[in-house]
Amino acid sequence: MDANYQDLQCADLKHILKTKGIPFSNKRKQDLVDLCESADALNLPGIDQNDSEKEASIERRTVRGKTYQHPCYDTGIVWSRNLATIPTIDTFDVTSFLQNYCGWSEERLRRRKSDNGYKLHCSGHIHDVTMAMLDEDVFYVKGKCVPETRQSSDPYIPWILVEKSGHIFSAECTCVA
């Protein structure tokens, strides 16, 4: 083992694990160090992040075997500001998505109101919310989010892919987080 992972910051350890395709959410520094050392011991190669990110994006936009166009890049999607038919999404739908798809722990869910995304919503950084009906029971909902620290920068585009019942299939944002 050539690297001394103990000397690295958590962000650096997470970057190493990400390039090797190893999940690392909700890990303490020592856990991150252990994972990096295990990856070294197994001589795991890095993966091409661009291909991996593309595959993950396609997977997020695939529902019941059908892949929908990306909501930020496809100009053929018909968007509406009329949100009268937007699916009703309740707290349970959001909690279920965050736990089952994003791996949020019970503790992180309890702290959700201190989460930056929630704060941005409460402080009016989210605007221009639109929706698009993709199929009879599948919708995109997207908006624009003014960056907290660089308010003159281009807004981020968060979006969700949601079922008419309120079940959230996936979500994504153009921010770096």
What mean pLDDT value characterizes the chain? Answer: 85
Q: What is the pTM of this model?
A: 0.65
Domain count for the chain? 2
Domain containing 165: what range? Answer: 67-172
Question: Does residue 26 share a domain with residue 89?
Answer: no
pLDDT at 13 over 80: yes
Q: Give the residue-averaged pLDDT of 11-24.
A: 82
- Look at residues 164, 125, 92, 3 and name the one whose alpha carbon lies nearest to residue 16: 3
Determine the Cα–Cα distance for residues 120 and 61; give it in Å rounded to an integer: 25
Q: Which residue did the predictor score with more confidence, 8 or 138?
A: 138
Question: Does residue 28 share a domain with residue 90?
Answer: no
Give residue 102's region: left, alpha or beta (phi > 0; psi -120 to 50). alpha
Question: Does residue 106 share a domain with residue 23?
Answer: no
Question: Does residue 116 share a domain with residue 31?
Answer: no
Question: Does residue 114 share a domain with residue 33?
Answer: no
Question: Does residue 160 share a domain with residue 78?
Answer: yes
Question: Does residue 167 share a domain with residue 84?
Answer: yes
Q: What's the pLDDT score for residue 78?
A: 94
